[in-house]
Amino acid sequence: MDLLQQLFFYLVALVTLVSGFLVIRCKNPINSAISLVMTFFCLAVFYVMLHAPFMAAVQIMVYAGAIMVLIMFVIMLLNLGSEVVGRYRHAVTGALVAGGLLLLQLLILVKQGGVSPTVGTINAQTVEAVGHTELIGFAMFTDFLLPFEIASILLLVAIVGAVVLAKREV
């Protein structure tokens, strides 16, 4: 059972990394977008494995559904073809060096800084007994009520901003 779980984790991790690599490597933006959808689905699988089924559902609906449809729509609307010219070679080398250094830093950070042992009360059993949605809702409407309201104002501002920016004449 444990071995199977590990094998599954590594399989999904491999798919995540390959599709993540394809996002930055594909010449055609449409192919990048489809790889990104694949990455989002793999992350939803991880959320289920981490006992967060509601976040997995939201991940698929909001990210793989709404945001990616919006991006695909814009790509097709602008009729973008494949990129003809890439960046200069020294820019790519610099980017690889910067990204590699960042990865090294993050790995050292993960390796050196220990994660504290479990402190909270919520574990897989509570999530199953109470329900994940209820737990999230309780946290959001008690401790995080003000950020929740601010998020709704942020969305309103984004709607107005998008309409004003995309309109030809205001």
Partner 1 sequence: MISVYHYLVLSAILFSLGVIGVLTRRNAIVLFMCVELMLNAVNLSFIALSSHLGNMDGQVFVFFIMTVAAAEAAVGLALMIAFYRNRESIDVEDFSLLKW
Q: Rounded to whole angstroms, how far apart are CA atoms 99 and 96?
A: 5
Q: What is the dihedral of CA 164, 165, 169, 170, to 10 degrees?
A: 30
120 binds partner 1 (CB under 8 A): yes
Q: Which of 11, 102, 131, 149 binds partner 1 (CB under 8 A)?
A: 102
Query: Measured from the CB of residue 128, what is the shortest distance to partner 1 in angstroms?
Result: 13
Tell me the C-alpha to C-alpha distance, in Å, between residue 138 and each of 51, 56, 112, 148, 162: 17, 18, 34, 12, 32
Q: How far is the CB of 45 from partner 1 (least distance, A)?
A: 11
95: three-class secondary structure by DSSP? helix
For partner 1, which residue of 4, 11, 38, 80 counts as binding (CB under 8 A)?
80
DSSP 91-121: HHHHHHHHHHHHHHHHHHHHHHSPPPPP-SS
Least Cβ distance, residue 65 to partner 1 (angstroms): 11
Contact residue for partner 1 among 128, 131, 149, 161 (CB under 8 A): 161
> How far, in Å, CA of 117 to CA of 122, rounded?
13
**Cβ pair 56, 47 in contact under 8 A:** yes
What residues numbered 49-78 form the site for partner 1, per CB under 8 A?
49-52, 55, 58-59, 62-63, 66-67, 70-71, 74-75, 77-78
Least Å distance, CB 93 to partner 1, is 10
Residues 6-25 that bind partner 1 (CB under 8 A): 6, 9, 13, 16-17, 20-21, 23-24
Q: Which of residues 129-158 bind partner 1 (CB under 8 A)?
A: 135-136, 138-140, 143-144, 147, 151, 154-155, 157-158
Q: With beta carbons less than 8 A apart as the criterion, state whether 31 and 15 touch.
A: no
